[in-house]
Structure 1
Amino acid sequence: MQMWKPFFCVLAVVSLGGVGCDSKPALDVVPASGTVFYDNQPIEGVTLTLVPQEGVKGRGGYAVSAADGTFKFQASPEAEGVVPGKYLVLFQKYTMPDGSPIPPGTSAADANFSNELSEVYSQPDQSPIYTTISDAGESDLKFELTARPQRRL
């Protein structure tokens, strides 16, 4: 029995080390998806960022729009969906200075990226766009951006 004591001690420590560890996100998230438009046309390559407003737990969420303008928010690379609540929404679409898409593998240090959307959409103190994600989630969010946006007053 004496030789088994170290084995049982190691087993106990290893077993307790996993207590409280879980791959589930720390906060409950719900699905949130939709479509982004620019001057009434679906737009590809827009990065959407959710900035939590008062009372919303967590860090918000992000998404990138597909060719048809659709997107799905995620709270982190491992967690698809976001915490329910009210968010300010920011939008950016980076391209090369000539307007062409950014080549794969290009870093910000290698290129002088340009945001194709009005700066109003990317500034937290100016963006006029908010959304609320319900406790059940959202599947039909619709954001309509224009070449001449109105600043938040």
Structure 2
Amino acid sequence: MSKFFCLGSLALAAFTVALTGCSGGTDVELVPVSGTVTVAGKPTEGITVTLLRQSGEGKQHFPYGKSDAEGKFTLKVSETESGAPVGQYTALFERWTLPDGSPIPEGQTPADSGAVNQIPQRYTDPSTSPETVTIAADGADNLSFDLKLK
């Protein structure tokens, strides 16, 4: 994967978080959304799940969450607002580490530390991600993604 693409993905992720974090509140109803992400069937900590709205109201919101040691995540649209708008989404995934696979040091950003995304490009690009989800009016508490690294 090219360094340019990695930096581009990082810039997009930073922009997304900044955009959602700067809003004064959502203008659409949010429903609770959570689930599990695994890699080859094993829970993996530190995977960021971001939903990209395919169309419709609420398209400016980018629900995101990060998996814990059990692979569980809960989505939010900002630091203070949990959930996601109802709709159809493409799911995108990232897991930034140092090139040797170790965590990024506290206080450093992926760009500062020379981090690499451990998730294959097909899962980070909206035009190639095979993962799509529908969030219904009653929310979703059982989303499940199993990523294949090869």
What's the TM-score once normalised by structure 2's chain length?
A: 0.79
In the other structure, the counterpart of 2:110 is 108
Partner of 1:12: none
Question: Compared with structure 1, are the counterparts of its residues 75 and 147 closer, same or farther at alpha carbon in structure 2 (3 Å cutoff)?
Answer: same
The CA deviation at 1:24 is 6.2
| 3-state secondary structure, aligned to 2:123 | helix
Between Structure 1 and Structure 2, the one with more helix by share is 2
How big is each residue's C-alpha offset from its partner over 1:115-143, in whole Å with a ceiling of 9 and x where there is no partner?
11111110111111100111000111101
**Percentage identity across paired residues of the two chains:** 37
CA contact (8 A) 1:56 1:86 kept: no
CA deviations 1:46-100 (Å, max 9, x no partner) are: 0111000122424231000001000000011121001011100000100001110
SS at match of 1:80: coil
AA aligned opposite 2:104: I
What is the root-mean-square deviation in Å for CA atoms of aligned residues?
1.4
Deviation >4 Å, runs of 4+: none
- Paired with 1:33 and 1:66, the residues of 2 have a C-alpha distance of 12
TM-score when normalising by structure 1: 0.78
Tell me what 1:92 maps to.
94
- Give SS of 2:34's match: strand
Unaligned runs of 5+ in 2: 1-23
Structure number with greater Rg is: 1
State the distance in 2 between where 1:67 and 1:118 align.
20
2:112 alignment partner, SS class: coil
Displacement of 1:27: 1.3
Q: Answer whether contact 1:60 1:83 (CA < 8 A) is retained.
A: no
Partner of residue 77, structure 2 = 75
